[in-house]
Amino acid sequence: MQQFPDEIVQSPKLASVRYDVRGPIAQEAARLEREGHRITRLNIGNPAPFGFEAPDSILQTMIKELPTAQGYSDSQGIHSARVAIAQYYQTRGMVDAGPDDVWLGNGVSELISMVLTALLGHGDEVLIPAPDYPLWTGATKLAGGTPVHYICDEQNHWWPDLAEIEAKITDRTKALVVINPNNPTGAVYPREVLEGMADICRRHGLLLLADEIYENITFDGVEMVNAATVAEDVLTITFSGLSKTWRVAGFRSGWIYISGPTHRAKNYLEGLGLLMNMRMCANVPGQHAIQAALGGHQSIEDLILPSGRLHEQRETAHRLLAQIEGVSVEKADGALYLFPRLDPDLYPIDNDEHFVIELLRQQKILVSHGRAFNWVDTQHFRLVTLPSVEDLEEAISGIADFLSGYRAG
Ligand code: PLP
């Protein structure tokens, strides 16, 4: 009789792929919940469960369109949504944007994977920020590429250092990733930094990959510059979608907008089109939500004003964390997160994943450890600023208690 291995094992392709934000810590939280504990979840940037409901016009449009959304759509996405996205970018200074330059996906996540899979051969390098949104690193590895991290500078608002980026370019470098506004740091890059990144791509023939899913979430009037507007002659793929600004992460509605000298990328775009075809199309009801979202009242604007919920919560979380001895934290100019640092003299942490698991067990508060974002030390963690002011006050007081016990211990 034929012998089978006892166990089905995972592909070696996954050996170094990680996505720790939803990894062992989240499983431990689920275990504690099953035991009956209430966990304060400060780990995922998912607005809806925190009471951030989508504008009603989006929901009504989706409900109305459901009967017409039963079949597959064109793989690139429905035309009305692509027109709406092109017009949206035109109003943001990308005057040449047209529906043919827009491709729809099941969230930015799916598009990140497809864009990298279509691009990378074995050992091709992608410049990715550290800390990063870890899907960029994981998807690069899964596509056979090598992530090369450039270190963002905590002493300088978490902005990248252009000289360091340039020094890390090799003849295998294919693309430069910019995440702006940034997850996990909340940094929003000034125009000069983006111009510098575009210039690096221009001089080295790199593809600029701009993850701008938080583009409408900035505070105190900080200007958000879309990378494509300073990179008109650079091949640029801009990523965005409905998950954050329009608070419907569950609809899995995302898009890319491809700009610059696309004639240089004919072969690449054919490959990307092949991957799009192979997965048929993005979730069609979610595609119908796009035109309603982009054309309707932009309610995110009310939330980021000083009187708005997102602004108030960021203020509260920042103020309370900064009051804890040995905690320093840059105030986020955008996005939904803070990335505090714990002074190693007071809190020497060998393993930050164990540290956050201990916080979870003792205080029932779930945050993510800094290394989950490919950060270089073990002294950081990320929390989301989505919970109400009251919940943030309670959670941060729990973190402060845990830290004082950690010092005493
Ligand atoms: N890019 C960044 C920087 C993110 O923070 C996230 C989600 O948290 C995503 C992409 C994924 O977005 P989507 O829900 O569109 O897949």
* Segment 291-342, tens digit of pLDDT: 999 997 778 888 898 889 999 999 999 999 999 999 999 999 999 999 999 9
Span 210-220, mean pLDDT? 97
Residue 175, helix vs strand vs coil: strand
pLDDT digits (tens, 9 = 90+) for 17-55: 999 888 889 999 999 999 999 999 999 999 999 999 888
pLDDT digits (tens, 9 = 90+) for 348-400: 999 999 999 999 999 999 999 999 999 999 999 999 999 999 999 999 999 99
The residue nearest atom 12 of ligand 1, judged by CA position, is 108
DSSP code of residue 320: H
In the structure encoding, which two tokens stand for residue 144, read together? 């056979």
Residue 86: its pLDDT value, please? Answer: 98
Q: In which residue are the tokens 């943030």 written?
A: 392
Q: Please confirm whether the linkage preceding 184 is cis (ω < 30° from 0).
A: yes
Residue 297: its pLDDT value, please? Answer: 79
Please report which confidence band the pLDDT of residue 407 belongs to, taking 50, 70 and 90 as the band edges.
confident
Nearest atom within ligand 1 for CA of residue 112: 10
Residue 4: its pLDDT value, please? Answer: 81
Averaged pLDDT of the chain = 95
In the structure encoding, which two tokens stand for residue 162, read together? 């252009």
Residue 82: its pLDDT value, please? Answer: 98
Main-chain phi, psi angles of 103, to 5 degrees: -130, 135
Cα 225 from chain centre: 17
Query: Which domains are assigned to the chain?
Result: 12-52+302-408 (3.90.1150.10), 56-295 (3.40.640.10)
Task: Provide residues with CB under 6 Å of ligand 1.
Answer: 45, 107-109, 133, 179, 183, 211, 213, 241, 243, 249, 254
- CA dist., res. 295 & res. 17, Å (int): 38
- CA dist., res. 226 & res. 223, Å (int): 10
Nearest atom within ligand 1 for CA of residue 133: 3
Q: Cβ distance 150 to 225 under 8 Å?
A: no
Q: Cβ distance 114 to 131 under 8 Å?
A: no
Q: Cβ distance 25 to 144 under 8 Å?
A: no
Q: Cβ distance 125 to 119 under 8 Å?
A: no
Residue 374, helix vs strand vs coil: coil
Residue 213 alpha carbon to ligand 1 centre in Å:
6
Residue 172 or 300, more confident: 172
Residue 380: its pLDDT value, please? Answer: 98
Residue 21: its pLDDT value, please? Answer: 84
Share of the chain above pLDDT 90, in %: 90
Predicted-assembly ipTM surpassing the 0.95 threshold: yes
Residue 188 alpha carbon to ligand 1 centre in Å:
16
For residue 2, is pLDDT > 80? Answer: no
Residue 136 alpha carbon to ligand 1 centre in Å:
10
Q: What is the arrangement of strands in the sheet containing 368-369, beginning at the earlier edge strand? A: 337-338, 381-384, 368-369
